[in-house]
Structure 1
Amino acid sequence: MKNPKSFYHGHQFPAPVISCAVRWYFRFQLSLRDIEELLFERGMIVSYETVRRWCDKFDAGFAHRVKAARRKPGTTWHLDEVFVTLRDEPYLLWRAVDQHDTELDILLQKRRDKAAAKRFFKRVLASCPEAPRKIVTDQPRSYPAAKAEIPKLEHVKHVFVRASARLNNRAENSHQPTRERERRMRGFRDPERTQVFLSSFGPIRQHFALKRHLLRASLYRKQLGERFAAWHCFTELTQGPSAF
């Protein structure tokens, strides 16, 4: 029986270099050219277009493994939408997080009607093993109308809050990393590429973004070390990026 091909089969650069470049791009506020410079400092001559191709190829696979390995989603879902502008056209970025601030899923759509809400509910349900016990949203009528047509959610408790009162802060705050990245990238452009990027950006960034202010320094370092060890498993590394 033949051994399966490596995750990185056919690539000139070793796996630690590719894995590290992809992690830097999704974890930190770095441009492709920033990563090109960081790799050059370490003796690797890689163009920013090569880094772009690595991110386009490996981001979804890495993010899927991160999501599959994280703890079971919480029983309370917080849903919210935020406007983003792509080439001067307004879009709505729908996002769901649980009570632990873990991003469950995102979906970029043009509308905010019942069909859009129903599409988003189905997407989140597909990415979670179980339906929630409670859903928290602001007050658009599209949410209850869509929820009533989905059997898994029909009897789930639905809590409404006023968006103007900032009572759904857990969901609203979850947009902040996206806003920061949007500014760093000088705006998003293509809807399809934006959806793909943000679908990977959330899980990979959150994998390393521990709540440091709640942890002792020793515990923080221990947990961060565990996250790096898990990342090496997700990306099929046999050695750390320090090898280069």
Structure 2
Amino acid sequence: MISFKGCHFPKPVILHAIYFYLRYSVSLRDLEEILAERGVVVDHATLSRWVVKFSPLVAIEAQKRKKPSAVSWRMDETYIKVRGQWTYLYRAVDRDGKTLDFMLSEKRDTVAATLFFAKALASSGIPLRIVIDKSGANGAGIKEVNKILKRFGCPTTITTVRSKYLNNVIEQDHRFIKRRTRPMLGFKSFSSASATLEGIEVAQMIRKKQFGLEGSGFAQFAALAG
């Protein structure tokens, strides 16, 4: 359960504000006005702090409670602008389009790919195959992960499949993330970008019905928060 101790607003108000911002194309200033019309006076800077503080915590709970995934994955990265510079959002979905894991990185290389694959395996188990594009770094990352698995005595070897056609699933899935981040016009810091993107990914996982929870999108978000 996520603690809201010390907050000057009730938990439902905070969660409503965070979920609304993560799920829909509104700016923080727009959200400030929307809340004010409903009698909740809170400035956009406070709203931003809520998003950055609580989104990663909800994402941790989401990874614990998501449904099991298929053993065939699709992996790719998309571009996110931070401080006027392009960074890389590594993402993986299974063959059915269910979100597995995600990681924002300042670099796009073998080290970053290996870290992402290790993170994804820790949260989602070991797949039989991972479909990627022609990226040499991603292929090298899978090789490094296979070496680690072998070192720990794991009998499974992950097969690398290079297919533009099969990877259309995740390329299409990027659209939902880009649709939400586009109105933000870039992030001011890497840490705030990473935290916000984690929350956006959770909102999309809720849209995909990955938790087996009942109720509205917000009700599921609140349930993840505990």
Superimposed CA distance per residue, residues 48-82 of structure 1 (whole angstroms, 9 cap, x where no aligned partner): 12212222221112222223222112211100122
Structure 1 vs Structure 2 CA RMSD? 2.7
Tell me the TM-score normalised to structure 2 length: 0.83
Provide structure 1 residue ranges, at least 5 long, that are not aligned to the other structure: 212-222, 237-244
In structure 1, what is the Cα distance between the partners aligned to 2:56 and 2:107? 25
1:232 aligns to 2:210 (yes or no): no
The change in CA–CA distance for 1:21 and 1:140 in structure 2 (over 3 A counts) is same
Aligned to 2:153: none
Instruction: Spell out the pairing of 1:23-42 with structure 2 (5 A cutoff).
Output: 23-42=19-38
1:150 to 131, 145, 150: 145
Aligned to 2:191: 192
Tell me the TM-score normalised to structure 1 length: 0.78
Given that 1:75 and 1:134 are in contact with CA atoms closer than 8 Å, whether structure 2 keeps it comes out as yes
Over alpha carbons, which structure has the higher Rg? Answer: 1
In structure 2, what is the Cα distance between the partners aligned to 1:16 and 1:142? 43
Given that 2:52 and 2:192 are in contact with CA atoms closer than 8 Å, whether structure 1 keeps it comes out as no
Secondary structure at 1:234 match in 2: helix
The change in CA–CA distance for 1:87 and 1:226 in structure 2 (over 3 A counts) is closer
* Structure 1 outlier segments of 4+, above 4 Å: 226-229
Provide structure 2 residue ranges, at least 5 long, that are not aligned to the other structure: 151-155
- The Cα shift of 1:209 comes to 5.0
1:93 partner letter: L
Given that 1:84 and 1:93 are in contact with CA atoms closer than 8 Å, whether structure 2 keeps it comes out as yes
1:54 aligns to 2:50 (yes or no): yes
Given that 1:94 and 1:109 are in contact with CA atoms closer than 8 Å, whether structure 2 keeps it comes out as yes
Aligned to 1:17: 13
1:83 to 79, 95, 100: 79
Higher relative contact order (CA 8 A, sep 6+): 2
Given that 1:75 and 1:98 are in contact with CA atoms closer than 8 Å, whether structure 2 keeps it comes out as yes
Secondary structure at 1:199 match in 2: helix
1:206 aligns to 2:205 (yes or no): yes
How many residue pairs align between the two structures? 218
- Give % identity: 31
- The Cα shift of 1:83 comes to 2.9
Secondary structure at 2:140 match in 1: helix
In structure 2, what is the Cα distance between the partners aligned to 1:134 and 1:39? 46
Secondary structure at 2:9 match in 1: coil
